[in-house]
Amino acid sequence: MQPVRLFDAVRVQQPYRAAIDAAITAVLDSGCFVLGPAVADFEASFAQYCGVAHGIGVGNGSDALELALRALDVGVGSSVVTVANAGGYATSAIRACGGEPVYVDIDPDTLLVDCSALSAALSRRPAALIVTHLYGQLAPITRIVADCAARGVPVIEDCAQAHGAARGGRRAGSFGDVGCFSFYPTKNLGALGDAGALVTDDAELAARLRALRQYGWTRKYVNQLAHGRNSRLDELQAALLSIKLPQLDDDNQRRREIVRRYDAGIRHPEIWPLLGRGGGDDVGHLYVLRCARRSALQAHLSSRGIDSDVHYPQPDHLQPAWRAALPRSLPATEAAAAEVLSLPCHPALTDEELARVIDAVNSFH
């Protein structure tokens, strides 16, 4: 029997095959490969999709986070509030700027930031907040933005798992000061290589980001901003992303449907879904359940030809590279890290595959 993949990198490209081939030829013939018209087109259409004025293409999602921090003047010694269960990307970016991550614990039902813990951390006036819309679920962003505004703390949204997630007619990336996206191939909007973008309504911030992504130049060879670097988006990735963007809402609809079917179909006394998923503000990036006997469940699924993975096994504050000098306890974060398991979830997953996964999960002993 064919294995059921967590993500099928070949199948998800199939609907675009002819358009991708044509776009590759067009870029090749154009003779312009980096920061050209295809990048400008994609920046404009992606910003419009997100409902903001400015889009800035960059090399990848991690660079987007780091450039956002630098554009907001986060530097050596600055504290930045974030969570420790979101894969370490925010922590890497904060550390790269010389800043200090201040971790807050998560809500055990959703594994998103816990709002009361966040309020307490904000009262110590950090330089910024990075809020991650994890697994495709929009965080309680309206409340978070209001809390941060009251204290003058800028909000960076990490939307790398939440392209198109919307609440009250507004999309992820349009609530905070700046939204950061990755287009790594497995994301809801994926390139055929590394790519990323930032979106913002703030023209001055957008100008700083444009300079920072290219050596800090405000004009060619004029390094006006410190900490500039090279993190440009290339024409090929931008052209491919423009082909896929119009399908994003349909793909997200299929992902939400998969989340709802898993939620309805999985019935097991030892297995718990996250609460409140599959609604309009969720774009089903990953389908994550909790099980105290996770490795036994993984082995059982594997024996049935079903891939699974853990997002993420080690919280940031316990990672070898970043282990805090002072022991710090984040009980909900640590409990979740020991129990979360991700099942196959992507728009090309068939109903038969979905049924096979549900059947395999329910037959776990």
Which strand (E) or helix (H) includes residue 103?
strand 100-103
Shortest distance in whole angstroms from residue 68 CB to ligand PLP: 11
* DSSP for 113-164, written as a single string: BPHHHHHHHHTT--SEEEEE-GGGBPPSHHHHHHHHHHHT--EEEE-TT-TT
Judged by beta carbon, residue 105 or residue 158, the one nearer ligand PLP is 158
Judged by beta carbon, residue 86 or residue 239, the one nearer ligand PLP is 86
Judged by beta carbon, residue 233 or residue 297, the one nearer ligand PLP is 233
Give yes or no for a contact between 287 and 342, defined as CB atoms under 8 angstroms apart: yes
| Residues in contact with 254: Cβ distance below 8 Å, sequence separation at least 6, in sequence order | 347
- Which residue has 């000061």 as its token pair? 177
Give yes or no for a contact between 159 and 133, defined as CB atoms under 8 angstroms apart: yes
Shortest distance in whole angstroms from residue 316 CB to ligand PLP: 12
Shortest distance in whole angstroms from residue 189 CB to ligand PLP: 12
Would you tell me which residues interact with ligand PLP (CB under 6 A)? 60-62, 86-87, 89, 132, 158, 160-161, 182, 184, 194, 196
- The conformational region for residue 258 under phi > 0 = left, psi -120 to 50 = alpha, else beta, is alpha
Shortest distance in whole angstroms from residue 198 CB to ligand PLP: 12
| Residues in contact with 221: Cβ distance below 8 Å, sequence separation at least 6, in sequence order | none
Judged by beta carbon, residue 241 or residue 360, the one nearer ligand PLP is 241
What's the rounded Cα separation, in Å, for the pair 290 and 191?
A: 30
What's the one-letter identity of residue 195?
Answer: A
Judged by beta carbon, residue 185 or residue 273, the one nearer ligand PLP is 185
3-class secondary structure, 87:
coil
The number of C-alpha atoms within 13 Å of 37 and in the hemisphere containing its C-beta is 6
Q: Which residue is nearest to ligand PLP (CB)?
A: 61
Shortest distance in whole angstroms from residue 132 CB to ligand PLP: 5
What's the rounded Cα separation, in Å, for the pair 284 and 291?
A: 19
Helix, strand, coil shares of the chain as percentages rounded to 5?
Answer: 40, 20, 40
Shortest distance in whole angstroms from residue 351 CB to ligand PLP: 27
Shortest distance in whole angstroms from residue 29 CB to ligand PLP: 28
Judged by beta carbon, residue 182 or residue 214, the one nearer ligand PLP is 182
What's the rounded Cα separation, in Å, for the pair 356 and 78?
A: 49
Judged by beta carbon, residue 126 or residue 179, the one nearer ligand PLP is 179
Judged by beta carbon, residue 191 or residue 297, the one nearer ligand PLP is 191
| Residues in contact with 266: Cβ distance below 8 Å, sequence separation at least 6, in sequence order | 273, 289, 358, 361, 362
Give yes or no for a contact between 337 and 87, defined as CB atoms under 8 angstroms apart: no
Judged by beta carbon, residue 159 or residue 271, the one nearer ligand PLP is 159
Shortest distance in whole angstroms from residue 190 CB to ligand PLP: 10
Shortest distance in whole angstroms from residue 2 CB to ligand PLP: 27
Written as six digits, the tokens of 132 are 């991650």
